[in-house]
Amino acid sequence: MIGRRTLLASSAALLAAPAIIRTVHAQSTFDWKRCKGQRVVIALTKNPRADCLQQHQKEFEELTGIRVESEQMPEQQQRPKMVMELASGRPSFDVTHFSLHVSKRVVGTGLWLEDMRPYLANPALTAPDYDWADMSPGALRAATQPDGRIDSLPLESDIWLVYYNKQLFQQKGLSFPKTFDEMLATARKLNDPASGTYGFVARGVKNANVPVWTSILLGQDQETVTPDGRTLLTDTPGAIWAGEMYKSLLRECAPPGVIGFNWNECQTSFMQGKVGMWLDGVGFTPPLLDPKVSKIVDHVGFGVMPAGPKAQACPVFTDALGIPVQSKAKEAAYLYCQWATSKQMLLNLVNMGAGASPRLSTYQDPVLMKASPFGQEWLQTLLASMKIARSGLPEIVPVNEFRDVIGIALSNMIGGADVAKELHAATTAFQPVLAQSLKT
């Protein structure tokens, strides 16, 4: 007798059959083994995306016959190592994993990475189901240099959102804020230093704190530089409003010592159940829901970035993979990049909670939509955030110096400094650096 489950499974298989056959056919016509026997060295930045790639690495080796040697390195070391090796002309890797929001323009200016366009256009090298057009417009924009070259393939789009502690909100009868003004008011209500409870936490340490401020600044429908990348917009009335909001949230409502907090200190404080809201990237979700390390597994809420006076937007930061022009195994390296950014791998990445996929098709996957690994609220927040995502940092060569100069001003604000004076001084200090970078 045919059971209900068997019938349902058979029907689903029948319905999915054409798609599966199409995929298998497409795969069968593409020669993944064209570089069999070659070896590629992959330099990865230590983060959950790299974990995902390494977990599935064997599948790539079996698919292609290419031997992969991959290494993860903390981003503080990986970023300068990558730039120095590329500048030296003798990089030790065939594929590099890097943050476009930090290194895009420096690698673009140096012309150190292969232009992927000829590879993408070559049917002998790109599988028919790769579907470059499936990448979100934001990810495509991030991967494209001003001169039109595409020198990397997007691997992950780190959406920023607000994590909140539902239990603390319920205790005070509060609901998730829709605007930044409401967020400040809510944080003040949640704040109770006498009981060790704080309303809000976010990065206070210099450099790392800049995306927090730009998250607020996007609510003014404004970015940090003009579209031509030549003039700073960091001391405008909108920037000062964002600075005041940042100062109030962190000075009045955050735990003592927040001036030295990076994401890890924020995460630790939030996981102890003593902080109402935490503003940071979606990639930090898994530990919050891990009972071994988190005390708030059943109370974590996910909220879209609140709206500012002029707009509602959230910053997005993109990771990507690139191939050095000096690589001796470019085709094998491209096959690795293609596999790593394929539909299936990016679906694996989202299912692991390692971040948000830059592909649109990921969010049409029926299994993911039905059974999100972190619940429907997480998934719906992610989907809503994708629609309002904008670049969170300027695309300029000296972006690190920008983050330091503005970051120091933001740290000073937490210490009590005047917002307008700090932003004006930082802008004055950085404008010549920006101008100089445009000359060279």
Compose the 65-104 pattern: x for residues touching another protein by CB under 8 A, - for all others: -----------x---x--xx--x-----------------
Which residues, in sequence order, are CB contacts of 400 under 8 Å at separation 6+?
Answer: 102, 207
Strand extents, DSSP E, 46-188: 67-73, 95-99, 153-165
Which residues, in sequence order, are CB contacts of 134 under 8 Å at separation 6+?
Answer: 343, 359, 360, 361
State in angstroms the smallest separation of the CB of 226 from another protein: 22
Candidates 171, 231, 272, 364; binder of another protein (CB under 8 A) is: 272
Candidates 204, 219, 324, 358; binder of another protein (CB under 8 A) is: 204
Residues 69, 34 contacting (CB under 8 angstroms) = no
Choices 38-46, 227-235, 361-369, 398-406 (CB under 8 A): range interacting with another protein:
398-406
Alpha-carbon distance 182 to 245, whole Å? 11
Q: Does 365 bind another protein (CB under 8 A)?
A: no
Alpha-carbon distance 393 to 195, whole Å? 36
Q: What are phi and psi of 64, to 5 degrees?
A: -110, -20
Candidates 110, 118, 137, 309; binder of another protein (CB under 8 A) is: 110
DSSP H helical ranges for 319-418:
330-340, 343-351, 366-370, 376-387, 399-414
Which residues, in sequence order, are CB contacts of 277 under 8 Å at separation 6+?
Answer: 162, 163, 164, 165, 183, 186, 187, 190, 199, 200, 201, 303
State in angstroms the smallest separation of the CB of 328 from another protein: 23
Q: Does 281 bind another protein (CB under 8 A)?
A: no
Candidates 259, 289, 296, 337; binder of another protein (CB under 8 A) is: 259
Smaller CB separation from another protein, 240 or 414:
414
Candidates 300, 397, 419, 426; binder of another protein (CB under 8 A) is: 397
State in angstroms the smallest separation of the CB of 276 from another protein: 14
Token pair of 285 as six digits: 């979700």
Smaller CB separation from another protein, 306 or 324:
324
Encoded amino acid at 218, one letter: L
Token pair of 389 as six digits: 């995502």
Applying CB under 8 A, what is the total number of residues that bind another protein?
36
Q: Does 255 bind another protein (CB under 8 A)?
A: yes
Candidates 62, 257, 364, 435; binder of another protein (CB under 8 A) is: 257
Candidates 173, 256, 291, 366; binder of another protein (CB under 8 A) is: 256
Smaller CB separation from another protein, 65 or 273:
273
Q: Does 294 bind another protein (CB under 8 A)?
A: no
Q: Torsion-angle region of residue 257: left (phi > 0), alpha (psi -120 to 50) or beta?
A: left
Candidates 97, 101, 247, 274; binder of another protein (CB under 8 A) is: 274
DSSP conformation letters of 405-417: HHHHHHHHHHTT-
Candidates 231, 415, 428, 435; binder of another protein (CB under 8 A) is: 415
Choices 105-113, 239-247, 297-305, 334-342 (CB under 8 A): range interacting with another protein:
105-113
Smaller CB separation from another protein, 170 or 436:
436
State in angstroms the smallest separation of the CB of 80 from another protein: 4
Choices 8-16, 150-158, 172-180, 396-404 (CB under 8 A): range interacting with another protein:
396-404
DSSP H helical ranges for 254-375:
263-271, 285-288, 330-340, 343-351, 366-370
DSSP conformation letters of 226-259: -TTS-SB-TTSHHHHHHHHHHHHHHHHHSPTTGG
Smaller CB separation from another protein, 5 or 439:
439
Q: Does 400 bind another protein (CB under 8 A)?
A: yes
Q: Does 109 bind another protein (CB under 8 A)?
A: yes
User: Interior CA angle at 351 toward 368 and 22, to 5°?
Assistant: 60
Q: Which residues bind another protein (CB under 8 A)?
A: 76, 80, 83-84, 87, 106-107, 109-110, 196, 204-206, 255-261, 265, 268-269, 272, 274, 397-398, 400-401, 404, 408, 411-412, 414-415, 440
